[in-house]
Amino acid sequence: MNQLDALKALTTVVADTGNFRQLAQYAPRDATTNPTLILKAVQQPDYRPLLDETVAAHRGAPLAGIVDEVLVRFGLEILKVVPGRVSTEVDARLSFDTAATVARARHLIGLYEKAGIGRERVLIKIASTWEGIQAARALEREGIHCNLTLLFAFCQAVACGEAGVTLISPFVGRIYDWHKKAAGAAWDDAAMAGVNDPGVQSVARIWRYFKHYDIATEVMGASFRNVGQILALAGCDLLTISPELLAALQASDAPVPRQLDAAEAKAATIHAVSHAEPAFRWSLNEDAMATEKLAEGIRAFAADAIKLDRLIEEAKA
């Protein structure tokens, strides 16, 4: 058994890509996308026709509406390949606007439902700002399931659990990147690998907390830099993995031991916390890594959303 198959026995494997033609060979259950991945895909010759066809079919619509049509078109193609769910992201420029995020999410779900896809097969990705979490709270009450992304701090995870969010995506690699940069020459790659990786430790802490307190929100580790980070989270609810790392797992037959155990988490001594808005904002502010990476992530996704807007405007011309 290769490592990918062994991992699937412990964890639900999700593909992190907009390149749906790569998916079948790895047989993931779900798939995730983001503005960067979609932008990358539509600039490839194999996928550019999808953008051009979608723009041509909705040429008179507002730009934001055409963008959503493009995102959903990719989602529909992905759902032809995966048996489970696709995550489609709300524009990062709405990350601090609860009402606008709710409206955009409803529009995306409406497009999927118009195409015959039930809302149980779609996760709406929203940045884990306080406003985004409150938007997700409202959407979940309507049966619109959410994936809260750009999650770096424990307080973000706790607030998502309290809001009844379906799934969260804590970022392993970006946490690792921050700590490595902060340590500079003192960083020891070998000593900080595997279960000692700060990104791995962040996800493991969240997962154990949720299991200890029977919080239904699913934990999906994301943003991996190497196979070691993935294997150190074997047993997590879900892991979303790039095609490059899926291929590396598939090429190895080394053992994949379970690292996260629900019974151990249940038996552990873990103190409960709660985060109303003031406590949430203070806890996030006190976490320099999370504050910086959240802001950086929103800016990066917004920049790619602007680039996608420009491609669509060019295609309309």
Angle between helices 154-163 and 198-212 (to 10 degrees): 30
Burial of 169 (0-12, 13-18, 19+ CB in 10 A): buried
Q: In the predicted model, what is the mean pLDDT of residues 23-42?
A: 94
Q: pLDDT digits over 249-304, tens only?
A: 999 999 999 999 999 999 999 999 998 999 999 999 999 999 999 999 999 999 99
For 129-161, the pLDDT digits (tens) are 999 999 999 999 999 999 999 999 999 999 999
Q: Is 125 a catalytic residue?
A: yes
pLDDT of residue 113: 98
Q: What's the confidence (pLDDT) of residue 218? A: 98
Instruction: Count the Cβ atoms, other than its own, within 10 Å of residue 82.
Output: 20
Q: Contact 301/89 with Cβ under 8 angstroms?
A: yes
Kindly indicate whether the domain formed by 3-316 is annotated with CATH number 3.20.20.70.
yes
Q: Where are the alpha helices (DSSP H) in 164-224?
A: 172-183, 198-212
pLDDT band, residue 166 (cuts 50/70/90): very high
Do residues 107 and 123 touch, judged by C-beta distance below 8 A? no
The pLDDT of residue 91: 97
Q: 14: Cβ–Cβ under 8 A, 6 or more apart, which residues?
A: 28, 29, 30, 31, 32, 220, 238, 239, 240, 241
User: For 59-115, what is each residue's pLDDT tens digit?
Assistant: 889 999 999 999 999 999 999 999 999 999 999 999 999 999 999 999 999 999 999
Would the pTM of this model clear 0.85, i.e. be above it? yes
Helix-then-strand count for the chain, H and E: 14, 8
Q: Strand, coil or helix: what is 282?
A: helix
Q: How confident is the model at residue 6 (pLDDT cuts 50, 70, 90)?
A: very high
Q: Residue 187's pLDDT is what?
A: 97
pLDDT class of 317 with cuts at 50, 70, 90:
confident
3-state secondary structure of 173: helix
- Burial status of residue 257 (CB atoms within 10 A of its CB: 0-12, 13-18, 19 or more): exposed
Write the burial class of residue 14 (CB in 10 Å: 0-12 exposed, 13-18 middle, 19+ buried): buried
- Check residue 316 and give its pLDDT: 86
What pLDDT does residue 35 have? 84
Neighbours of 277 (CB within 10 A): 11
DSSP β-ladder status, 12-16 and 30-32? parallel
Catalytic residue among 125, 181, 266, 293: 125
- The beta-strand segments (E) located in the chain are 12-16, 30-32, 86-89, 122-127, 146-151, 167-170, 218-221, 238-241
pLDDT in tens, 36-51: 999 999 999 999 999 9
